[in-house]
Amino acid sequence: SQTIHQWPATLVQPVGSPLSLECTVEGTSNPNLYWYRQAAGRGLQLLFYSVGIGQISSEVPQNLSASRPQDRQFILSSKKLLLSDSGFYLCAWRLAGAADTQYFGPGTRLTVL
Amino acid sequence: DQQVKQNSPSLSVQEGRISILNCDYTNSMFDYFLWYKKYPAEGPTFLISISSIKDKNEDGRFTVFLNKSAKHLSLHIVPSQPGDSAVYFCAATTGGGNKLTFGTGTQLKVEL
């Protein structure tokens, strides 16, 4: 069966510091991968998605970037965090070419102070 | 522009009764709809989905109804259980599924 991992689970970072969140998927090959953010009291907003190694699509212009160095690894980064980057970050995967259901990881709670 | 709307931020239901969560959408190109359940500090868990070619899909205690003419879908939970207390998100996508558009969620509380 497929599993998705995210780390760290929680993170407190000062404004202006860099960020690296990692997501890995097990039990499947060539998944579509996604990064979402849930701000306090809001729905889930798609940030980036990837259909293959090195292929990144950005949905929202912002202070963040994403990379996919390996088939089942997806990384969310920032060079300098802003207060507005605080939120709950979720990674998700979907079988490429299959039904449209996306499956989510456990999430990372990021607090920027 | 909020293309998927959940107008009720919260809902309280007694254990054993029916919970009905509602969702409206504006984009007529959406052809696949999903419901997710989310506990605090956890990722959303997929519950049930429905394609636009259907008007009902059932899985155990969960049933999703789709009314395309009204651009409305609903999730029925029967009977409701205390463990169902969570935030429920509806989501929609067009063909290909690379972008799920989520509603803002409804907090369901099932009381004893």
Which residue from B49, B99, B104 is facing A43, i.e. has the nearest CB? Answer: B104
Pick among B6, B24, B98, B99 to test the A interface (most A CBs inside 10 A)? B98
Instruction: Note the pLDDT tens digit of each residue in B17-63.
Output: 999 999 999 999 999 999 999 998 899 999 999 999 999 999 999 99
State which residue of chain A sits closest to B30, comparing Cα positions.
A100
Give how far Cα B67 sits from Cα of A5, A29, B31, B74, B75, Å. Answer: 36, 36, 12, 9, 12
Instruction: Note the pLDDT tens digit of each residue in A69-81.
Output: 999 999 999 999 9
State which residue of chain A sits closest to B6, comparing Cα positions.
A43
CB pairs under 8 A between A and B: 60
Task: List, as one string, the DSSP characters of A35-80.
Answer: EEEE-TT--EEEEEEEEETTEEEESS-SS-EEEEEETTEEEEEESS
Cα torsion B56, B15, B81, B7 to 10°: value is: 50
Instruction: Note the pLDDT tens digit of each residue in A2-13.
Output: 899 999 999 999
- The CA R_g of chain B, rounded to the nearest whole Å, is 13
Which residues does chain B have within 8 Å of residue A88's beta carbon, measured at their own beta carbons?
A: 41
Which two three-digit tokens encode residue A7? Answer: 């780390």
Which residues does chain A have within 8 Å of residue B97's beta carbon, measured at their own beta carbons?
A: 32, 94, 99-102
Which two three-digit tokens encode residue A107? Answer: 């999430």
Decide if B1 touches A, using CB distance below 8 A.
no
Amino acid B41: pLDDT: 85
Which residues does chain A have within 8 Å of residue B36's beta carbon, measured at their own beta carbons?
A: 104
Strands B56-59 and B62-67: antiparallel
Picking from A79, A93, A86, A92, the residue whose alpha carbon sits closest to that of residue A109 is A86
Model confidence band, residue A67 (pLDDT cutoffs 50, 70, 90): very high
Coil, strand or helix at B86: strand
Instruction: Note the pLDDT tens digit of each residue in A7-47.
Output: 999 999 999 999 999 999 999 889 999 999 998 777 899 99
Which residues does chain B have within 8 Å of residue A99's beta carbon, measured at their own beta carbons?
A: 32, 49, 97
